[in-house]
Amino acid sequence: MDASMITPFINSIQNVFSTMFQLPVEIGEPRIKADRKASHDVSGIIGVSGEMTGTIVLSMPRDAASSIVTLFTGMEFETDSADFADAVGELINMISGNAKAEFQRKSVSISCPSVVLGADHTIAVQSGTPCVLIPCSTDCGEVVLEVALREAEAEIETSTAAA
């Protein structure tokens, strides 16, 4: 996965957090994630399809997620409530949608978001798709954006070569 797939997500999380609730995001060094275990216990997940396929995850510790959702909505919710999940889902939806617009000349669609809560959950992604973890530091705590994407053409070429 090259930088052109990662940069839109870095720009997008900074744009979404600053525009919607004036929260600056400092980006750490992106790295390949070795395992499928969720980085934190709250995960907002979006599926990507079309000319690029894969999964985008916003993973947050419960406390950080709670503070961010409060800033975003102006209300305090229990972390196991539907309203909390809705807000986390909308965040990853905006981050993914905003990033998608930067993929020039690529027809890409995103799914409706899903939200998973709980310690030590795992998120299955397509086998063979590398996952890049982008550490993000905010005044509400450390969160991560996980980008597991590949070009659909590469998938077709691999299948053809294997046949």
Partner 1 sequence: MKILLIDDSKTMRNIQKSVLKQLGYTQVEEACDGQDALSKVGAFAPDLCLVDWNMPIMDGLTFVKEFRKTNKTTPLIMVTTEAEKSRVIEAIKAGVNNYVVKPFTPDLLSERITETLAKCAVA
Q: Which residues bind partner 1 (CB under 8 A)?
A: 15-16, 19-20, 72-75, 82-83, 86-87, 89-90, 93-94, 96-98, 100-101, 110, 112
User: Considering the complex, what minimum distance in angstroms separates the CB of residue 114 from partner 1?
Assistant: 12
User: Considering the complex, what minimum distance in angstroms separates the CB of residue 94 from partner 1?
Assistant: 5
Nearer of residues 33 and 100 to partner 1, judged by Cβ? 100
User: Considering the complex, what minimum distance in angstroms separates the CB of residue 36 from partner 1?
Assistant: 26
Nearer of residues 60 and 87 to partner 1, judged by Cβ? 87
Nearer of residues 15 and 129 to partner 1, judged by Cβ? 15
User: Considering the complex, what minimum distance in angstroms separates the CB of residue 90 from partner 1?
Assistant: 4
b/e code 130-146 from CB counts within 10 Å (16+ = b) = ebbbbebebebbebbbb
Nearer of residues 33 and 67 to partner 1, judged by Cβ? 67
- What tokens were used for 35? 């395992």
The helix, strand and coil proportions of the chain, stated in percent and rounded to the nearest 5, come to 35, 30, 30
DSSP one-letter code for 122: B
Cα–Cα distance measured from residue 32 to residue 147, given in angstroms and rounded to the nearest whole number? 10
Q: Which residue has the tokens 């965040």?
A: 91
Q: Which residue has the tokens 């027809």?
A: 107
**Closest among 76, 51, 72, 71 to 155, alpha carbons compared:** 51
